[in-house]
Amino acid sequence: MAATKFEYIWLDGYKPEANLRSKTKVLDLPEDYSGDLAAVPMWSFDGSSTQQAEGNSSDCLLKPVRLYPDAGRINGWLVMCEVLNPDGTPHASNTRHLLPEDDEEFWFGFEQEYTFLEDGRPLGFPKNGYPAPQGMYYCSVGAGNVAGRDLVEEHLDMCLAAGISLTGINAEVMLGQWEYQCFGKGARKACDDLWISRYLLFRISEEYDVTIEFSPKPMKGDWNGSGMHTNFSTEAMRTTGGEPLFKAICEAFGTVHQEHIAVYGSQNDERLTGLHETQHIDTFSYGNSDRGASIRVPISVYNEGWTGYLEDRRPASNADPYRVAGRIIQTLGLVNTPA
C-alpha cells in the first residue's frame, strides 16, 4: 500500500465568476493504483466559506467526476469534482451537470488567453509608463518582446503530463499576455480539462510570485483584451458538412446573440468594442477568416469542402466553459439542418 494524494478541485459560489478551490485527501491504496475513479470517495467541505451554504447548515458534498495524474506531486492525482447539496442533488453553483454526457458528438477547442501581472501591471511593463506599442509581441521571441516564458513552458509540460490535450501555446498581442489551446472530445471532458489546466496555471504561478489575470480587458487603452475563443463542431459539421449547414448554424447563432453574451463572461463589454479584432458586443456577424466577426469561419473549412468547425470569438477569458459549451449546444439544437 502507498499513501496517495488526491487534490479535490471544485468551483465555488462567487459571482459573476466562480473561483477554483481545492483541498487534499490522502488515501492508502495499492502501489499499482492507476486512476480508478471508483476508488476515490465522496467528500465534503464548508460551503459557508465559499458562498455555497449558510453557517447553520454548511456542509456541501464533493462528487469526483474525473481524475488526472499530478506530475507536481509524488503519488498525486487531481480530482475534478461537482458540488452537490447534502441530499445529493446538484448545487445551484454546479454548471457542469447541465451538460450532456460525453458521447463525443460535440468537440470543443478553447483558446484560453490570460495575462501575467506583477505589482498590478502586465509582466514586462516598466514600473512607470508603457512599453512600445503592441505589434512586436504576438508570437514573438527575445528579451523585451516576451515575458513569462518559463512559467508558460512549465504549465505546458504539467498539463501534458496530466493527459490534458493542450495543442499549442503562443505569446499574445500584448506584452505579458499568453494563450494556450485546450482541445477535448465530449463537452464535459473538454470543459473539465480547461478547468484543470486553469488550476495548474494558478498553482504554478505561486512559484513565480506573479498573478494570473483572466480579466477580458486587463490593460485599458490601445491594448488587446483577453478572450476564450471557442471552437466547436458536431459530427455533421466534421463529416457531411456543406456551406448551407454552416450558414444555417451561423444564422441560428445570430437569433440568440444576447443569450450567448449573457453567459460569456463579465466585463466583456470592455473587450468587445469593435476594435482589437472583435465585433461590438451589441452586434452579431459572421464571415470567412474574419477575426472582427462574432463567428469566424476558418479558412480550412471553406477550402476543404465546407467540413470542420466554427470559432465563436465572443467568450471572454474569464467565462465558465461549462456555461459557454452549454449555450452553444443549446443553440445548435435550434439549427434547421438543410436537406
The confidence score (pLDDT) of residue 56 equals 85
Given the DSSP bridges, would you call strands 59-69 and 43-46 parallel, antiparallel or unpaired? antiparallel
- Exposure string of 208-223, with b = 16+ CB inside 10 Å and e = fewer, is eebebbbbbbbbeeeb
Pairwise CA distance, residues 95 & 92, whole Å: 8
Sheet holding 59-69, edge to edge: 20-29, 2-11, 76-84, 59-69, 43-46
Answer yes or no: are the C-beta atoms of 9 and 199 closer than 8 Å. Answer: yes
Q: What does the pLDDT read at residue 103?
A: 79
pLDDT in the model for residue 239: 96
Phi, psi for 42 (deg, rounded to 5): -60, 155
Q: Which of 151, 167, 292 is nearest to 227 (CA)?
A: 292
Q: 92-107: b or e for each residue (b if 16 or more CB lie within 10 Å)?
A: ebbbbeebeebeebbb
**Pairing state of beta strands 166-171 and 76-84?**
unpaired
Q: What was the pLDDT predicted at 339? A: 58
Domain boundaries, the chain: 2-94, 107-332
Give φ, ψ of 245 to 5 degrees: -65, -50
Check if CATH label 3.10.20.70 holds for domain 2-94.
Answer: yes
Is this structure's pTM higher than 0.95?
yes
Q: Are strands 20-29 and 2-11 parallel, antiparallel or unpaired?
A: antiparallel
Using the structure block, give the residue that is written with the C-alpha cell 450532456: 100
Q: Residue 337's pLDDT is what?
A: 75
* Local confidence pLDDT in tens for the 339 residues of the chain: 999 999 999 999 999 999 999 999 999 999 999 999 999 999 999 999 999 999 888 999 999 999 999 999 999 999 999 999 999 999 999 999 999 887 789 999 999 999 999 999 999 999 999 999 999 999 999 999 999 999 999 999 999 999 999 999 999 999 999 999 999 999 999 999 999 999 999 999 999 999 999 999 999 999 999 999 999 999 999 999 999 999 999 999 999 999 999 999 999 999 999 999 999 999 999 999 999 999 999 999 999 899 999 999 999 999 999 999 999 999 999 997 765
Q: Homologous superfamily of 107-332 in CATH? A: Glutamine synthetase/guanido kinase, catalytic domain (3.30.590.10)
